[in-house]
Structure 1
């Protein structure tokens, strides 16, 4: 709880849920306090707001992630249920419980996240010696992978289709998990240019994935071409 609070209290951005403080009065244990979001998470919001501007929501989430990465913070668990929508319809990233600050002691996050959104490298187990297994840590690049799947879900209202069920480390195995247009009934909502940008986010090799600071303007350009 203290770790989440120590990260959250430093963050000030329109697309991040604000941190109000810690309360010791509302429950038998300390709880983190933030504004109530009437619409709940973005998935629920889109079910009741058919005319919502989905591209604008995606760009809002991208802006929030870009702010985190610019401050050397990895979220580590980007998914639909961790994006809340405020009364203005603005998406706000929440849940910094497994986030980490890069280059800071005490902020090393092991293999964590939500299975369907996790980057492939987070499934690899590195045998550092004969007696110990080393689990990979979330990175800015793994955030970009998760963001790509999250963005696709916002645009199509369809959760990731191909879900890993066991550790894997080969491109052949990963190829079976990479999103394909034919898997999505609502793929028609995603232009070829938009799909091309998101597809870069799903690259097998972390080093090949673009930075979120490049993804956001590329998506903005792709969305503009639809207008």
Structure 2
């Protein structure tokens, strides 16, 4: 949690959940931590909840503006040489003005040669090579062990998953119930969504929007992570839909 607090406290952007500070509270008896205080991180309360639940409750909301907000948040992180590592619909919150803010930096990582990392040389911001994140949204190279190093490209795979998730309100690999089935699908190079899922999803939006998103997402799901578009490129493409 200390790593998350130090990283999150550096972030200042309209589409990033604000970090307000931290507090200590006494441990409850069932936590078996006599006399030890619990550290909690403090942020504004997002009464509207995450984007998935919000869109289920408000199907006529303009989803394009929410997708644009998500991309602006990711672009900001990547401009600071930070990868989020756990981009998904439930980590996109909706603030009081209806804008998307990216949250949950518990597994986020500074890339090498980052100016913030260099200025905090006594602090470790890196994580172990084990799988950390939400498997269904993760890039195959991280899940299958082809690469244990998160990258902007691996974030962009997750962005593609999240764009389509919020467009049709269905999770990646929705036809598979078990993680082992998802891993097997990745081994077979199956995409997180297919045409049947896209055309039959809970869109409440025009098929025109979803078909254009599909083209963008396919670019995000290229097998070579170095060929995936940048967050700025996807943001520009999404904005052009207006």
For the superposition of Structure 1 and Structure 2, which TM-score range results when normalised by the shorter chain?
Answer: 0.7 to 0.9
Residue 197 (structure 2) aligns with: 183
Q: Which runs of 5+ in 2 are unaligned?
A: 28-36
Q: Which residue of 2 aligns with 1:31?
A: 40
Equivalences for residues 152-163 of structure 1 within 5 A: 152-161=164-173
Aligned counterparts of 1:64 and 1:148: Cα–Cα separation in 2:
14
Partner residue, 1:115: 135
SS, match of residue 188 in structure 2: helix
Match 1:64 to one of 73, 78, 93: 73
Alignment: residue pair count: 214
Task: Label 1:58 to 1:167 Cα distance change in 2 as closer, same or farther (>3 A).
Answer: closer
Name the CA distance, whole Å, in 2 between partners of 1:173 and 1:108: 31
Report how far residue 107 of structure 1 moved: 2.6
Deviations 1:13-66 (A, max 9, x none): 111100001111476301000000101111111111122110110010000000
The alignment status of 1:50 with 2:59, answered yes or no, reads yes
What is the rounded CA distance, in whole Å, between the counterparts of 2:191 and 2:59 in structure 1? 29
1:219 corresponds to 2:222: no
CA distance in 2, matches of 1:40, 1:189: 27
Residue 124 in 1 paired to residue 136 in 2? no
CA distance 1:214–1:94, shift in 2 (3 Å) = same
Question: Could you say what secondary structure the match of 1:84 adopts?
Answer: strand
Distance change >3 Å, CA 40–CA 178, structure 1 → 2: closer
Secondary structure of the residue aligned to 1:63 is helix
Change (3 A) 1:166 1:45: closer
Unaligned runs of 5+ in 1: 127-134
Specify the alignment match of 1:131 in structure 2: none
2:142·2:149 contact (CA, 8 Å) conserved in 1?
yes
Deviations 1:159-194 (A, max 9, x none): 1135562796998711x2342121231363644332
Q: TM-score, normalised to structure 2's length?
A: 0.81
> What residue in structure 1 maps to residue 2 of structure 2?
2
Within a 5 Å distance, the mapping from 1:127-138 to structure 2 comes to 136-138=148-150
